[in-house]
Amino acid sequence: MKKSITIILLTLLANSLFALNPPPNKKLKIQINKNVELLGLAYFIGFEGVDIENKTIDVRGRKMAKKDWHNYGYFIYEKYKKFAANESLLAGFTVADHLWLDYLIALLVQIEDFPNAKLTDAIPESYFINFSKTKNLKEAKENAKIFLDGLNTFYTQIDFNQYLIDSKKYYDKAIEEVTQGLPETDFISAMENFYKYGFDSYTLVPSLTIPKGMGFGVRYSSGEKTRIFNVFGALDFQSFLNTNDLQMGFTDKQRLRELSVHEFGHSFVNPSIDKLPEKLITDTQHLLEPMRLAMSNQGYNTWRASLYEHFTRAGEIMIAEKIGDAPGAKKLLSYYLQERQFKYIPTILIELSKYDSGQYKTYDEAVLAAMKEIEKNE
């Protein structure tokens, strides 16, 4: 994959910081992804930043102007908003307007960098078939090409490489914060031991253009290797203009670990949900109704998506306990029940505890048992 000089330098920085602060697991990597950064910028100027000056947001119980919370995002929005109606960008987004960022990111992390991104025969069909709403393969390929060509041209038109050069100190700091914020506990080994499965690499992809609070767990396989990613925006307040004390919002160690366990967790959890009998999903989908509003407000509009989140968050609690963070596990449980309304987590935890003690041989069995309990005790 062709890399710009800026991205190479950032990778070298991450490697040098790792030498000083060894990661808790040798499979863990930190990378800035050029394609993710362009997608995030395009998303911010086209969607997130629209009318942001007139919106407020609740941050830890405090209401504040949304533009002040997303201050780096607003900074790039102000700089690039004149390109929001760019023809190339609109052409690319028009064929992808029904796709969420996680699907697009899963494609972008495995192809050549913009402005040379293209679909190749090495990309499995599943990573682009949804570009066609009817899942027509020919149409999907054509639309994926339109999307990538649009962003390739957009990259050149806004001189995105110059943005990366100009912003190098901000990305340097982001990598430094994430590297220094890694937990000393080996949460990846804890996850692999719990789920009884592992992947070939785990990559943290901090982003300055993906809106704060957003995180995406994606993966792809190449040959016999499967790589998984946690792509995430900043987690905390940022200070970056007219200051020598840069803060790019990645210093919250607890949140960094929890988010990583969550987003990496989807790659362990989702396939097991997808193995459930379709009839069991159908027969229990009415259980979404009492919490539909709470789920949809978080972006989970289907019963299956809600189940992904329930089981992934239950897994977070189990992992927190296994690495010795009982207070963190208790806090997560309370937060997910009271504030996020994931009402079936306690039922799931009972079955996961049985699995952890050896009563079930596989995680798949525990998921099936939990679903039957949810159905029984509805």
Query: Is residue 322 domain-shared with residue 231, that is, in the same domain?
Result: no
Query: Is residue 186 domain-shared with residue 279, that is, in the same domain?
Result: no
Closest CA to 311 of 283, 275, 282, 286: 275
In this prediction the pTM is 0.89
Q: What is the mean pLDDT of the chain?
A: 93
Query: Alpha helix locations (H) across the chain?
Result: 5-20, 34-43, 66-69, 71-80, 87-94, 101-108, 137-157, 160-166, 168-181, 187-195, 253-274, 278-284, 292-296, 303-322, 326-334, 345-356, 363-376
Enclosing domain of residue 73: 5-242
Query: Is residue 33 domain-shared with residue 169, that is, in the same domain?
Result: yes
- Helix, coil or strand: residue 222: strand
Q: What pLDDT does residue 264 have? A: 95
Q: What is the rounded CA–CA span in Å between residue 205 and residue 7?
A: 12
How far apart, in Å, do the first and last CA atoms of the chain sit?
50
Query: Is residue 228 domain-shared with residue 294, that is, in the same domain?
Result: no
Predicted confidence (pLDDT) per residue in 59-85, tens digit: 888 899 999 999 999 999 999 999 999
**332 occurs within a structural domain:** yes
Predicted confidence (pLDDT) per residue in 342-364, tens digit: 999 999 999 999 999 999 999 99
Predicted confidence (pLDDT) per residue in 269-288, tens digit: 999 999 999 999 999 999 99
pLDDT over 90 (residue 299): no
Question: Which of 224, 242, 260 is the last residue in one of the domains?
Answer: 242
Query: Is residue 211 domain-shared with residue 281, that is, in the same domain?
Result: no
State whether the Cα torsion 6-8-11-16 is positive or negative. Answer: negative
Contact 119, 148 (CB under 8 A): yes
Contact 208, 253 (CB under 8 A): no
Q: How confident is the model at residue 1 (pLDDT cuts 50, 70, 90)?
A: very low
Query: Is residue 330 domain-shared with residue 228, that is, in the same domain?
Result: no
**265 occurs within a structural domain:** no
User: From residue 318, how far is each of 176, 271, 322 by CA, in Å?
Assistant: 29, 18, 6
Query: Is residue 207 domain-shared with residue 295, that is, in the same domain?
Result: no
**250 occurs within a structural domain:** no
When computed from its CA atoms, the radius of gyration of the chain, rounded to whole angstroms, is: 21
Query: Is residue 206 domain-shared with residue 63, that is, in the same domain?
Result: yes
pLDDT over 80 (residue 232): yes
- Helix, coil or strand: residue 216: strand
Long-range CB contacts (< 8 A, 24+ apart) of 221-226? Answer: 221/124, 222/110, 222/122, 225/200, 225/201, 226/199, 226/200
* Choice between 18 and 139, residue whose per-residue pLDDT is larger: 139
* Residue 289 DSSP one-character state: G
Q: What pLDDT does residue 2 have? A: 46
**336 occurs within a structural domain:** yes
Average pLDDT for 225-229: 95
Average pLDDT for 40-54: 96
pLDDT over 80 (residue 19): no
Q: What pLDDT does residue 240 have? A: 95
Average pLDDT for 92-120: 96
Query: Is residue 309 domain-shared with residue 227, that is, in the same domain?
Result: no
The residues pairing with 245 across neighbouring beta strands, listed in sequence order, are none
Given the structure tokens 């969420």, which residue do they identify? 100
